[in-house]
Structure 1
Amino acid sequence: MAPEGPATPSARATLAGIGLMCLAVTSFALTDASAKWLSGHINVLMVVWARYAIHFVVSLAVFNPWSVPGLLRTRRPWLQLGRSALLFSTTALNFAALQVLQLDQTVSIMFSTPFFVALMAGPLLGEWVGARRWIAILVGFAGILLVVRPWSGGIHPAAFLSLAAAATYALYSITTRMLVPYDSSPTTLFYSALVGTIAATLPLPFVWQTPSEPLVYGGMLFLGAIAGAGHFVLILAHARAPAATLAPFIYTQIIAMVALGWLLFGQVPSLWTLAGAAVVIASGIYLILIERRTRRHAP
């Protein structure tokens, strides 16, 4: 057998896309870890504001009405506003849950997003769930139950905040797909940052607490910058590899979350959480494989 030659440009691009996807989800893990640390020093609404305001300022350097003509032009303004509001709600709910829950718990619950998408895609997109998808959804929710363990009597209400964040993120994902035929990606990204910044700024005068430690200011800057960088790297990943190829690598985020939870907060995941996360990930990957096979055989 002849030795294998160098990777083709398409193969190299795919590998680069996978690497960028892993870097993006690591950035998202750092975002959550930063938010959890900051919420112990300042009001959680200030944390949400830092995430959006700094992200918005940084993103203006790449996407602005001068460098991207027609950036503000949208054919579906109400859908853009609704999608941006859903992303803001997801961030606020997730950051609120992070005040109490461990990093590995929140990410495990957030991994239920594909199941909510599958449930909502029928009435909203006309993509109805078949028998195999229903089985995957039920198994996935069984994994969530392993994480929150309602039978133990120790379930914290914050788990429901995290579950609500997964539901709003699923609606955000669906509205993003609905916007694709109408608006460009830079327009959609710009409105997400703009609406989130405005929504986070409105309650700021009522909750503002001047940080007493310079490190908190640094944490706020890092939070917004790493969140913005993560979304930018995510775009670069999707420009190099198909979404179906990248999707399973989203689950590598739990590795980063477990590591950060242990290093920064001394949080060791329980066997229940690890088992539940494994079930959720397996079910999610099965849903991805079904979706990939369905698209491959579509006329």
Structure 2
Amino acid sequence: MTENLRGALFMMASMATFTLNDACIKLLAQGLPTFQAVFLRGLGATALLIALAHITGALRQPIPRADRPYVVARALAEVAAFLPFIIALTHMPLADITAVLQALPLTITAAGAFFLGERVGWRRWTAIAVGLLGVLLIVRPGAAGFDHWSLLAVLTVLIITARDLITRRLSPEVPSLKVAILTAAGVMVLGLVLSLFEPWQMPTAGQGGLTALAALFIIGGYLFSVMAMRVGAIAVVTPFRYTAMIWGLLLGLFVFGDWPDGLTLLGAGLVVATGLYTLWRETRATAS
């Protein structure tokens, strides 16, 4: 199995588990205060990750001194991205916010060229421009359906781009489980602090089960996203983020009864098509 294939599989697993987690949190927010649900999910996820790290021995593996600033910066970026995301998630259809997030492969490719010195030719720059046009069709600035929730989704894209660039800086000696633990703990603390401004309520048995599911899914999302960005080439691995669009559409339709309008689907189609084109170009270049 090549590094690129491993990275692609990790990325697809990350997108599936993240989107399933998003659906769980969106359902929980309909009956529980949002940040109470986030805190409870984070509590379960952090405890499970620590237990897993202890069993596998990752808890005893030190983080190299040179990597510590990057590990902390990545955790802070995750927390910073989570706040606008969770607010947008509770106010936007799942498929719509998932569609906006499909700009990530394009923004990460562009950022990789600017900040990491990765080579990007004119064809890929054209694909990035077309993809960003697709994002504009989704959020539609100035249209009646455009609001500040859409802007929060775009802000999330920018912060996650920075997070993934930081992840690329981590050396192979950094245990992915420890990175995931710090991430889960950071989001949990944010949920706890913000939940103090909400009226708490006792979860029902169903809400407790949904919280446990969300914790399991977010563990997979954290772990797989870290592993995906540490193997393979960015331009090959990141287009597989588009598999999240499939999960977002299916869950939006069958769980929430939402289906994007025509312009949103057109914009998402443009974004996905440019990502697939980028993937095809990279595959062809590797084969030659």
Query: For the superposition of Structure 1 and Structure 2, which TM-score range results when normalised by the shorter chain?
Result: 0.7 to 0.9
Counterpart code for 1:228: I
String of CA shifts for 1:222-258, please: whole Å, max 9, x gaps.
Answer: 2112211344466788999987765544322222211
Relative to 1, partners in 2 of residues 1:241 and 1:111: Cα closer, same or farther, differing over 3 Å?
same
Aligned to 1:6: none
Does the residue aligned with 1:266 lie in a helix, a strand or coil? Answer: coil
Pairing partner for 1:279 from 266, 270, 284 = 270
Q: Which residue is equivalent to 2:54?
A: 64
Relative to structure 1, is the Cα distance of residues 203 and 94 closer, same or farther in structure 2, using a 3 angstrom cutoff?
closer
Give TM-score, length-normalised by structure 2: 0.83
Larger Rg: 1
Q: Among 219, 222, 233, which residue is 1:228 paired with?
A: 219
Cα deviation per residue 1:194-219 (whole Å; 9 max; x = unaligned)?
33333433334333512353322222
Alignment of 1:191-202 (within 5 A): 191-202=182-193
Q: For residues 89 and 194 of structure 1, what CA distance do their matches in structure 2 show?
A: 13
* Farther off after superposition, 74-83 or 11-20: 11-20
CA distance in 2, matches of 1:143, 1:153: 18
Structure 1 counterpart of 2:169: 178
Cα distance, 1:96–1:270 mapped onto 2, change above 3 Å: same
| Mapped contact 2:109–2:235 kept (Cα < 8 A) | no
Structure 1: which amino acid aligns with 2:273?
Answer: A
How much does 1:115 deviate?
A: 2.2
Distance, in Å, in 1 between the alignment partners of 2:38 and 2:256 is 20
1:126 aligned to which of 105, 109, 117: 117
2:231 and 2:70 map into 1 onto residues whose CA distance is: 28
Matched-pair identity in %:
24
Go from structure 1 to structure 2 and tell me whether the alpha carbon gap of 1:20 and 1:295 turns closer, same or farther (over 3 Å shift).
Answer: closer
Q: Is the 8 A contact 2:63 2:175 kept in 1?
A: no
The unaligned stretches of length 5 or more in structure 1 are: 1-10
Q: C-alpha offsets along residues 50-81 of structure 1, whole Å, 9 cap, x if unaligned?
A: 34322211111221398222245543322211
Kindly report which structure 2 residues correspond to 1:9-48, keeping only aligned pairs within 5 A, or say none.
22-48=12-38
Mapping 1:132-211, distance limit 5 Å? 132-180=123-171, 183-207=174-198, 209-211=200-202
Q: Compared with structure 1, are the counterparts of its residues 130 and 174 closer, same or farther at alpha carbon in structure 2 (3 Å cutoff)?
A: same
Q: Which residue of 2 aligns with 1:112?
A: 103
Structure 1 pair 86–234 and aligned structure 2 pair: CA distance change class (3 A): closer
CA distance in 2, matches of 1:169, 1:211: 33
- For 1:266, the equivalent position in structure 2 comes to 257
Per-residue CA deviation, residues 70-124 of structure 1 (Å, 9 max, x unaligned), is 2455433222111111112222222211111111111110011122223333443
State the Cα deviation string for residues 124-181 of structure 1 (Å, max 9, x = none). 3233654223211210111111112234322121011111111111101000001236
Distance 1:246 1:124, change over 3 A: closer
Where do 1:60-99 residues align within 5 Å?
A: 60-64=50-54, 67-68=57-58, 69-71=60-62, 74-99=65-90
Q: Check 1:219–1:271 CA distance in 2 against 1; reply closer, same or farther (3 A cut).
A: same
Root-mean-square deviation (Å)? 3.5
Q: TM-score, normalised by structure 1?
A: 0.80
How has the CA–CA distance of structure 1 residues 292 and 56 changed in structure 2, closer, same or farther, with 3 Å as cutoff?
Answer: farther
Quick one: which amino acid aligns to residue 160 of structure 1? L
Q: 1:128 to 1:249 in 2, by over 3 A?
A: closer
> Structure 1 195/162 Cα, relative in aligned 2: closer, same or farther at 3 Å?
same
**What is the match of residue 248 of structure 2?**
257
- Give the counterpart letter for 1:194 in structure 2: A
Per-residue deviation, residues 24-64 of structure 1 (Å, max 9, x unmatched) = 43222211111111222233322332343222111112213
Structure 2: gaps of 5 or more residues: none
2:134, 2:271 within 8 Å by CA — same for their partners in 1? yes
